[in-house]
């Protein structure tokens, strides 16, 4: 078969090992079969948002009521995935992969999405690193310290989070059409690693992000089934967990489970992206305006309802209900670290008490602590809570109620600094950075920038009486850019890309409609 895929940048020597002729033939075949369907689903998202803007609020679909009311379950969960109490997430960086797999966790979700800046170098290295991790041959030596890193004998289970459907891979095209990053990530990981994973008694396990509808779940089921058939894998070899991190998807969770029932093992509360999606989806509704970011915790009724509905839906159908990310980074300061651990403890106890089977952390330093929380709350041999279903009935009104609270200039300014720092890191090739004690990735940064956009659009009144408008935003932006300069130092500032970051941030914050994703705008600069 003639290869018609084109690369806009040179493939590295290590990249050429994964971009082999057979792998590219397979990738091309998947692209040609599914690209047009994805194009249509992306258009459907735009149409859906237009309807919401016109006054049609998200709700449960009456056309799929039979699915919600009938008896069925997903394919049984493999034995090696029945304990997922603690999962760690992070980018597909070589050292990060080793440290994460060596952590005291059940699963490492290696991320091509929110925590990765998809530079061509990062993508190529990511595929190589994931191949070596799946084959358990991965090692690393620090250039300066010469410290060596290698895998322990029984590493955590490896999962791969592919990019969302909204992200293209501009460096690879077919007949002039850029491939979808999700297809590239899925095919490359599956093709190169399914045999090695089987030898270790595992399988190709994936996280699928940012689904917005059950039609997208149908698409993924067809992609997975097609790929299984092409490389002669038994149906159900590929297993996936889907993140419920968009407002439209929370009303379609049963349908998502149903259409992926041969492959799905659980749903995850992607809480940060969910808050971002809540703002973006309900952008035309001033009564849905959200307060300061630090107020919007899982204890807010609309987020508790989201968690409860996800747990009930999953357990009703025999699937795992995974909790969300603890974005805290341990501190070397004893008093500060004690406060951080208290917040982590409250967050994880909430998830356990609400019925979740496991949770996420962003830093290996939290693994032992979170494991102890589960050990204390679970019975001796208990590994999940699949038999737990709350008697609470969650309504559309509860999911859409939002929350109220203070809106402060301090939060406005903090959101500006976080956005400036994160976008600068992202366009410089880093998708996951610690900012003010929190591990910020694209999801958390999206909350910061859309919150400002929402406040400007609806002329939000702050607790000091000021009205958030373009003039106030521009004034705060200039002042906070200087504060960022002082924080990072003149040399780092001048050698960085803060002017570019400011330009991107300004564009998406002052746009007429909420920009779909900051990463699609910033990707133009990579």
Q: Which of 45, 132, 441, 449 is catalytic?
A: 441
Structure tokens that stand for 262 in this block? 């041969």
The verdict on residue 404 lying in a domain is no
Q: How many domains does the chain have?
A: 2
Helix H or strand E encompassing 416: helix 409-427
The verdict on residue 334 lying in a domain is yes
- What is the mean predicted confidence (pLDDT) over 173-187? 97
The verdict on residue 203 lying in a domain is yes
- The angle subtended at Cα 168 by Cα 166 and Cα 173, nearest 5°, is 150
Q: Indicate the pLDDT class of residue 4, thresholds 50, 70 and 90.
A: confident
The verdict on residue 414 lying in a domain is yes
14 shares its domain with 125: yes
423 shares its domain with 341: no
Contact 156, 103 (CB under 8 A): yes
171 shares its domain with 123: yes
Sequence length of the chain is: 526
Enter the DSSP assignment of 103.
S
Structural domain for 317, as ranges = 5-397
- Mean pLDDT, the chain, whole residue set: 97
The domain that contains 501 carries what CATH number? 1.20.1220.12
Quote the CA–CA distance of 238 and 231 in Å, as a whole number: 12
The verdict on residue 402 lying in a domain is no
The verdict on residue 164 lying in a domain is yes
pLDDT of the residue at 332: 92
Q: Whole-model pTM?
A: 0.97
The domain that contains 271 carries what CATH number? 3.20.20.360
155 shares its domain with 175: yes
217 shares its domain with 318: yes
465 shares its domain with 380: no
Quote the CA–CA distance of 113 and 123 in Å, as a whole number: 10
Over residues 214-253, the pLDDT tens digits come to 999 999 999 999 999 999 999 999 999 999 999 999 999 9
Q: What are phi and psi of 75, to 5 degrees?
A: -55, 140
Over residues 353-383, the pLDDT tens digits come to 999 999 999 999 999 999 999 999 999 999 9
Of the chain, the percentage scoring pLDDT greater than 90 comes to: 98
455 shares its domain with 323: no
Q: Is pLDDT above 90 for 199? A: yes
373 shares its domain with 416: no
| Domain stop point among 370, 397, 424 | 397
The verdict on residue 128 lying in a domain is yes
Q: Is pLDDT above 90 for 326? A: no
Quote the CA–CA distance of 315 and 321 in Å, as a whole number: 7
124 shares its domain with 192: yes
Q: Which of 161, 239, 317, 449 is catalytic?
A: 161
Q: For tokens 């159900």, what's the residue?
A: 236
Q: Is pLDDT above 70 for 152? A: yes
User: Bridge-partner residues for 269, per DSSP?
Assistant: 244
Contact 185, 204 (CB under 8 A): no
Q: Is pLDDT above 60 for 1? A: no
Mark whether 161 is an active-site residue. Answer: yes
| Domain stop point among 377, 397, 417 | 397
431 shares its domain with 368: no
Enter the DSSP assignment of 156.
P
Over residues 48-74, the pLDDT tens digits come to 999 999 999 999 999 999 999 999 999
The verdict on residue 194 lying in a domain is yes
35 shares its domain with 182: yes
259 shares its domain with 368: yes
pLDDT of the residue at 327: 86
Q: What are phi and psi of 179, to 5 degrees?
A: -75, 155
- What is the mean predicted confidence (pLDDT) over 470-481? 98
- What is the mean predicted confidence (pLDDT) over 135-156? 96
| Domain stop point among 353, 372, 397 | 397
pLDDT of the residue at 378: 97
Contact 16, 248 (CB under 8 A): no
- What is the mean predicted confidence (pLDDT) over 183-199? 98
Over residues 71-125, the pLDDT tens digits come to 999 999 999 999 999 999 999 999 999 999 999 999 999 999 999 999 999 999 9
């Amino acid at each position: 078969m003639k290869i018609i895929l084109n690369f806009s940048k040179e493939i590295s020597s290590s990249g050429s090992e994964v971009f082999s002729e057979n792998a590219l033939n397979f990738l091309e075949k998947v692209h040609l079969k599914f690209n047009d369907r994805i194009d249509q689903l992306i258009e459907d998202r735009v149409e859906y948002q237009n309807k919401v803007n016109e006054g049609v609020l998200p709700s449960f679909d009456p056309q799929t009521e039979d699915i919600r009311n009938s008896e069925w379950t997903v394919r049984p969960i493999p034995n090696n995935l029945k304990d997922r109490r603690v999962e760690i997430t992070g980018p597909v960086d070589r050292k990060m992969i080793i440290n994460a797999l060596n952590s005291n966790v059940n699963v490492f979700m290696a991320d091509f999405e929110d925590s990765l800046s998809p530079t061509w170098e990062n993508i190529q290295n990511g595929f190589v690193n994931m191949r070596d991790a799946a084959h358990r041959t991965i090692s690393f030596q620090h250039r300066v310290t010469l410290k060596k890193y290698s895998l322990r004998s029984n590493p955590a289970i490896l999962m791969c989070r592919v990019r969302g459907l909204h992200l293209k891979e501009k460096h690879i095209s077919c007949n002039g059409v850029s491939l979808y990053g999700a297809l590239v990530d899925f095919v490359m990981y599956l093709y190169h690693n399914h045999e090695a994973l089987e030898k270790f008694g595992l399988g190709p396990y994936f996280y699928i992000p940012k689904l917005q509808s059950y039609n997208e779940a149908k698409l993924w089921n067809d992609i997975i089934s097609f790929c299984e058939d092409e490389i002669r894998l038994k149906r159900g070899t590929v297993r996936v967990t889907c993140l419920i991190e968009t407002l439209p998807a929370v009303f379609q969770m049963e349908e998502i489970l149903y259409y992926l029932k041969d492959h799905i093992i659980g749903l995850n509360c992607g809480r940060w992206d969910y808050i971002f999606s809540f703002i973006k989806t309900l952008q035309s509704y001033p009564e849905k305006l959200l307060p300061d970011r630090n107020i919007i915790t899982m204890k807010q009724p609309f987020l508790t309802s989201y968690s409860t509905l996800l747990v009930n839906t999953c357990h009703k159908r025999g699937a795992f209900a995974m909790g969300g990310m603890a974005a805290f980074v341990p501190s070397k300061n004893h008093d500060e670290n004690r406060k951080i651990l208290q917040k982590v403890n409250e967050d994880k106890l909430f998830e356990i008490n609400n019925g979740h089977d496991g949770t996420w952390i962003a830093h290996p330093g939290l693994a032992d602590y979170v494991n102890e929380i589960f050990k204390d709350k679970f019975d001796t041999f208990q590994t999940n809570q699949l038999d737990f279903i709350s008697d609470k009935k969650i309504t559309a009104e509860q999911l859409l109620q939002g929350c109220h609270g203070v809106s402060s200039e301090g939060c406005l300014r903090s959101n500006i600094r976080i956005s400036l720092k994160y976008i600068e890191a992202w366009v410089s090739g880093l998708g996951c950075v610690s900012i003010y004690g929190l591990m910020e990735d694209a999801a958390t940064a999206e909350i910061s920038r859309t919150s400002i956009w929402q406040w400007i659009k609806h002329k939000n009144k702050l607790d000091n009486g000021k009205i958030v408008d373009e003039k106030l935003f521009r004034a705060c932006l200039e002042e906070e850019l200087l504060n960022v300069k002082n924080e990072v130092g003149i040399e780092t500032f001048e050698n960085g890309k803060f002017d570019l970051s400011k330009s991107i941030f300004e564009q998406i914050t002052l746009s007429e409609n909420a920009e779909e994703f900051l990463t699609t705008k910033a990707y133009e600069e990579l």
